[in-house]
């Protein structure tokens, strides 16, 4: 049973939260001010980008101050009646054993728009009369629907932590997991996720789980975060949809070409279709999709693409019959990873091939296949001859290092 590293390594105290030290200080002082008197602002409103630890901060604070922590996703309580039934009562009555209480209403963005049926107004009224601290969390505090609510809240802005802070957090996780990680690799993951700690940890797990070493070459091919976020959701829909229509609709959100999507599904099918019967059906569907991919390449008849998509989406979805849902991290396509690992080598071979082409009047492709292997033997065994060839071919230092396989 896999456990998400975002849960396994979730901060338990404020000292473990990544970044936002000033915002944390303000929140802690505001909560502690309730010990002496009810503050003028009876609710704190935490806002900022997703994935940077706003909710975790409130949980850790309740743990540090030994408070009874009451948490609800506000988007699940859209109506005034539902909000009052939960938050209204909790904000007025003492705890059973006299502990102080801290109420969190998370994802407040979820009750805005046409689905809001008096929820925001009810929260505003509850805050006016609450007898315990209430913390609200949203990405955008300046949503027009929060205009009245803001007047009664202590606004605390959370910002993306620095790349150094995120990388340091990833390093701590690697140490706990017994993984040696190259500093440059962790910084690269942090950079590609743009300060989103949760996403960075998810990427780290996908890349490093099951390994004992993580190098820069293992992560250098990593795509931008928004594209990965989309592909993860697409894969989840394809593998776990209950009907073909939902699975087929997932393709509309896929920010990758059909060949890349095929690689993602092919790589992850064995891990998400654990029953042999289900996996066999899924692989059969992928084989048919691959057959149509081949026909498209040979005939350039792109009307066949709809069959590729049908077998990759609906075909996979209907394959699940006996496999029970279980959280399993999605893995990056190994074949794409291997191409990335060899990319620099192929580029170097191509550059040397062009040098040989100019001197020997052969194609660069032939130079790579037939001449470079002989050059490597010479450069590794005969320094004097290698020196002369390097000068004649006008090879730079990196090319010589590649041919000698040494520094």
For residue range 169-190, list pLDDT tens digits in order: 999 999 999 999 999 999 998 8
Number of other residues whose CB lies within 10 A of the CB of residue 291: 14
CATH topology of domain 163-219: Helicase, Ruva Protein; domain 3 (1.10.8)
**The pair of three-digit structure tokens given for residue 398, joined into one six-digit string:** 């990196």
Q: Please give the pLDDT value at position 341.
A: 55
Number of other residues whose CB lies within 10 A of the CB of residue 125: 15
Helix axes 383-393, 334-360, angle to 10 degrees: 80
Whole-model pTM: value is 0.56
Listed by start position, the domains of the chain span 20-157, 163-219, 225-332, 336-404
Q: Please give the pLDDT value at position 225.
A: 44
Q: What is the pLDDT along the chain (407 residues), one digit of tens a residue?
A: 467 788 888 889 999 999 899 999 999 999 999 888 888 898 899 998 888 889 899 999 999 998 888 887 765 555 556 666 555 555 555 555 567 888 888 878 776 544 445 678 888 888 888 888 989 998 888 888 888 888 989 999 999 899 899 999 999 999 999 999 999 999 998 888 888 888 888 888 878 877 888 888 778 766 544 445 567 778 888 888 877 887 877 776 555 667 778 888 888 899 888 899 999 999 999 999 999 988 887 887 878 888 888 898 889 988 988 888 777 777 777 766 665 555 667 778 888 988 998 888 888 878 888 888 888 888 888 888 889 999 999 998 888 888 887 54
Closest CA to 324 of 283, 278, 266: 278
Alpha-carbon span 296 to 303, nearest angstrom: 8
CATH topology of domain 20-157: Rossmann fold (3.40.50)
Q: Largest alpha-carbon pair distance within the chain?
A: 89
Identical fold at 20-157 and 163-219? no
Q: Helix and strand tally (H, E) in the chain?
A: 21, 7
Q: Please give the pLDDT value at position 261.
A: 83
Alpha-carbon span 316 to 286, nearest angstrom: 8
Q: What is the mean pLDDT of the chain?
A: 82
- List pLDDT tens digits, range 127-165: 888 888 989 998 888 888 888 888 989 999 999 899 899
Phi, psi of 331 (to 5 degrees): -105, 145
Q: Please give the pLDDT value at position 13.
A: 92
DSSP string for residues in 249-317: HGGGG--S-HHHHHHHHHHHHHHH--SHHHHHHHHHHHHHHHHHHHHHHHH--GGGHHHHHHHHHHHHH
What secondary structure letter does DSSP report for 15? G
Number of other residues whose CB lies within 10 A of the CB of residue 29: 10
């Amino acid at each position: 049973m896999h456990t998400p590293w975002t849960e396994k390594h979730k901060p338990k105290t404020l000292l473990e939260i990544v970044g936002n030290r000033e915002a944390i200080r303000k929140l802690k002082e505001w909560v502690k001010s309730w010990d002496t008197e009810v503050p003028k602002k009876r609710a704190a409103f935490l806002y900022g980008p997703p994935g940077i630890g706003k909710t975790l901060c409130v949980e850790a604070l309740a743990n540090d101050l030994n408070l009874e922590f009451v948490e609800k996703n506000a988007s699940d309580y859209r109506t005034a009646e539902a909000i009052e039934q939960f938050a209204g009562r909790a904000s007025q009555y003492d705890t059973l054993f006299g502990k102080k209480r801290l109420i969190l209403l998370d994802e407040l963005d979820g009750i805005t728009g046409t689905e809001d049926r008096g929820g925001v107004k009810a929260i505003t009224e509850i805050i006016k009369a609450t007898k315990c601290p209430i913390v609200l969390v949203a990405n955008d505090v300046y949503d027009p629907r929060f205009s009245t609510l803001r007047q009664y809240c202590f606004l605390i802005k959370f910002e993306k932590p620095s790349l150094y802070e995120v990388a340091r957090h990833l390093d701590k996780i690697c140490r706990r997991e017994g993984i040696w990680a190259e500093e440059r690799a962790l910084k690269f993951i942090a950079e590609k996720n743009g300060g989103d700690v949760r996403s960075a940890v998810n990427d780290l797990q996908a890349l490093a789980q099951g390994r004992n070493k993580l190098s820069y070459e293992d992560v250098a091919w990593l795509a931008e975060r928004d594209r990965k976020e989309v592909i993860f959701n697409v894969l989840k829909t394809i593998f776990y949809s209950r009907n073909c229509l939902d699975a087929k609709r997932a393709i509309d959100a896929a920010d990758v070409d059909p060949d890349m999507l095929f690689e993602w599904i092919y790589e992850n099918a064995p891990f998400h279709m654990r029953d042999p019967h289900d996996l066999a059906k899924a692989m059969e569907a992928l084989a048919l999709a691959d057959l149509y991919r081949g026909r498209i390449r040979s005939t350039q008849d792109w009307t066949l693409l709809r069959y590729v998509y049908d077998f990759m989406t609906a075909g996979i979805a209907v394959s699940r019959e006996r496999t029970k849902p279980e959280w399993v991290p999605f893995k990056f396509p190994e074949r794409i990873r291997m191409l990335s690992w060899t990319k620099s080598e192929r580029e170097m071979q191509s550059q040397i091939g062009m040098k040989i082409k100019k001197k020997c009047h052969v194609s660069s492709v032939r130079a790579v296949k037939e001449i470079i292997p002989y050059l490597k033997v010479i450069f590794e065994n005969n320094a004097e001859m290698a020196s002369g060839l390097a000068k004649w071919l006008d090879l730079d230092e990196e090319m010589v290092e590649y041919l000698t396989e040494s520094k």
